[in-house]
Amino acid sequence: MINIEKLKEILVVGAGTMGHSIAQVFSQARFQVDLVDLNQKKLNHALELIESNLKILAEFNKVDPNRIPNILSRIRVSTDLAQAAEDKMYVLEAVNEVPELKQKIFKEFAEYCSAETILASNTSSLDIFKLVKRIVNLDRVIAHHWFSPPHIIPSVEVIPGRRTSQETTDFVVALTKKIGKIPIVTKKFIPSYIVNKIQESISATMYELMARGVADAEMIDLAIKTTLGIRLPIVGVVQLHDFTGLDVVQNVQSEKGGSLPIVDSKVQNNELGVKTGKGFYEYGDLSEKKILNKRDRLYLQQLEFLEKKTKFDPI
Ligand SMILES: NC(=O)c1ccc[n+]([C@@H]2O[C@H](COP(=O)([O-])OP(=O)(O)OC[C@H]3O[C@@H](n4cnc5c(N)ncnc54)[C@H](O)[C@@H]3O)[C@@H](O)[C@H]2O)c1
């Protein structure tokens, strides 16, 4: 495995919505960053955005304002991919979501990077492994998928393809941790990965509700912000069902004429969630009362913040 401690320089290609902020995150973590785009105008704009992002982070004590000039100076912008790729052991492309363009960039990676360089893609929806399989050796290709805005969202998805080597995955997981992010690692590749896959179901349903005249945009957002918006940051979508009770989930499902084998087998084993001490999660010796108290305190803190700061109004 490439020694992560020896990695000092990285390359980001594409300085748009995602790329500029990803470059910033690496620079904040003290990496020397080459940021490449098509023209100087885009690069200048990216640097302006990075400076303004850093000032906002400083307002929230997430960055020392005295460090800002240093962070900026570690980002070298350029339009010369060949030169910027030289000696890099990790490169990430964040160019437009266009298959031919991704292939073009990977051809350039194949030409300019060493045979060991980790080739990462920030693609949200393309099967990067299929797209580049004839261009590079897939064992060092990985999807490293960031969320907007990268300088704020704490996690980054790490998606190995079927032929990505364990070494490559381990390296990208270690790198993600090193820059202070939480790696969300999938066991295998599916399009849209975890977060966008779930987001797609939500989006499809909200458009259906609007199209069928069930509710307008503001009512849908108010409904979500005042319910799921309070619960999900604390319990996620899976543990939420441990609180609902997996027998209840099973009943709802069978009323609809469906079944969920994962839930059925848990119910059969009396793993109903919090009320039996085990569901998708194990609750050890904690009593139901203690678990509910813990949850409620967290919900109340969350609610207090939201009521005070947003009143659930649109931005
Ligand atoms: N926008 C998001 O919220 C988001 C979130 C996660 C992932 N992504 C993914 O990140 C990637 C980039 O998205 P974005 O929103 O930052 O796009 P964007 O359009 O804001 O930026 C893309 C940048 O790539 C540059 N570019 C195009 N061709 C190039 C080339 N040959 N060499 C160098 N630079 C080139 C463009 O000039 C542009 O600045 C896409 O794959 C997208 O799916 C986007």
- 3-state class (DSSP) for residue 184: strand
Same domain, yes or no: 139 and 287: no
* Tens digit of each residue's pLDDT (9 = 90 or more) over 277-307: 999 999 999 999 999 999 999 999 999 999 9
Same domain, yes or no: 27 and 176: yes
Q: What is the CATH number of the domain that holds 145?
A: 3.40.50.720
Judge whether 49 lies within some domain: yes
Which residue has the CA at smallest separation from atom 33 of ligand 1?
A: 37
Same domain, yes or no: 249 and 144: no
Could you tell which of 24, 96, 101 is best to mutate to test the pocket of ligand 1, judged by most ligand atoms within 8 Å of the CB? 96
pLDDT at 2 over 80: no
* Tens digit of each residue's pLDDT (9 = 90 or more) over 70-90: 999 999 999 999 999 999 999
Cβ neighbour number for residue 5 with a 10 Å cutoff: 8
What residues form DSSP beta bridges with 309?
none
Tokens of 285: 């010796």
Domain count, the chain: 2
Same domain, yes or no: 220 and 176: no
| Averaged pLDDT, 109-118 | 97
Which residue has the CA at smallest separation from atom 21 of ligand 1?
A: 16
Q: How far is the CA of 86 from the centre of ligand 1 (A)?
A: 22
Determine the structural domain holding residue 38 and report its residue range: 4-185
Question: Contact at 8 Å (CB) between 68 and 51?
Answer: yes
Rounded to whole angstroms, the Cα distance separating 69 from 112 reads 30
Same domain, yes or no: 240 and 179: no
Q: How far is the CA of 186 from the centre of ligand 1 (A)?
A: 23
Ligand 1 contact via 74 beta carbon (within 6 Å): no
Same domain, yes or no: 249 and 110: no
Same domain, yes or no: 241 and 158: no
Q: Which atom of ligand 1 is nearest to the CA of 36?
A: 33
Same domain, yes or no: 93 and 30: yes
pLDDT at 141 over 80: yes
pLDDT at 1 over 70: no
Q: What pLDDT does 3 receive?
A: 86
Rounded to whole angstroms, the Cα distance separating 148 from 155 reads 10
Ligand 1 contact via 39 beta carbon (within 6 Å): no
Give, as one character, the DSSP assignment of residue 88: -
Same domain, yes or no: 34 and 127: yes
Q: For residue 254, give Cα distances in angstroms to 71, 126, 180, 263.
A: 56, 35, 43, 11
Q: What is the CATH number of the domain that holds 219?
A: 1.10.1040
Q: What percent of the chain has pLDDT over 70?
A: 100
Q: How far is the CA of 158 from the centre of ligand 1 (A)?
A: 18
Same domain, yes or no: 115 and 262: no
Could you tell which of 11, 12, 13, 18 is best to mutate to test the pocket of ligand 1, judged by most ligand atoms within 8 Å of the CB? 18
